[in-house]
Chain A
C-alpha cells in the first residue's frame, strides 16, 4: 500500500521553539508539497519541491523553510514557532505528470502555546 507518512499526528510546541515536521513517501515521487489547512481558509501552499535539493516558495512561505536531502523525505521547518502557526499541516507527493493527483499524508496538528 503506497504511503505518505508524517512523523507526528499531534504536536505541541512553545513559542520561539524550532520545529521540524517530517514527511516520507515510498512512491518514488518527484514532487512533494507542504500545505497548511485552517478553518475558512482552505489549503494554502507553503513550499514545494520537484527534485532533491530543489525547493520553491508557495503562497505563504514566511516563517517556514524546507529541506529535501533525499527524494523520499521532505521536511518543513518552523524557525521560531509562533501562535499564528497553530494549524493542520499536510504533506503530499505526486509524480511529475500528476496524472493521478496528490497522495496526502495523515496530517500533523500543531499547536503552538
Chain B
C-alpha cells in the first residue's frame, strides 16, 4: 500500500524566512504533484513534477523531485503572509491516474 508522508504537519514561520516542506513516499513513482488549499476552499494545483530531477519554480515556491530517494521538497523563500495555506503532495500510483495524497502541511506565516 502506497504511503505518502509529509513533514512537518504544521509550520509557523515569520515573514522573510526560508523553509522546506518534505514529502516522502513508499513505492516507486516518477510523478508527483503539489497542491495548495486555502481554509474552506478546494485544492489548487501548484506544481507537476514528471521525472527524476524535475524542478519547478513559481514566485517564492520551488518544488523538486528525487525519485530514487522517493522524496520531493517544497522550498519557501522569503515567506510572505499570502503563502499561509495547507500544502499537499500527491503521488501517482498509475491506475487511471489515481493519486494518493499526503496528510498536508499547514503553513502559517506570521507578520
Contacts and interface: CB of A to CB of B under 8 A. Distances in A.
Interface of A: 31, 33, 35, 40-43, 45, 48-50, 56, 58, 90, 92, 94-107
Contact of A90 (B42, B100, B103, B104): B42
B72 to A, nearest CB: 13
A42 B42 contact: no
A33 B42 CA distance: 14
B97 A97 contact: yes
B77 to A, nearest CB: 23
Interface size class of B (residues with CB under 8 A): 20 to 34
B43 A90 contact: yes
24 contacts: A31-B96, A31-B97, A33-B98, A42-B101, A42-B102, A42-B103, A43-B101, A45-B98, A45-B99, A49-B96, A50-B96, A56-B95, A56-B96, A98-B31, A98-B92, A98-B99, A99-B50, A100-B48, A101-B33, A101-B90, A101-B99, A102-B43, A104-B43, A106-B42
A104 B97 contact: no
A102 B45 contact: yes
Given A43-B88, A104-B43, A98 B101 contact: no
Contacts of B43: 43, 90, 92, 102, 104
B104 A99 contact: no
Contacts of B68: none
A104 B96 contact: no
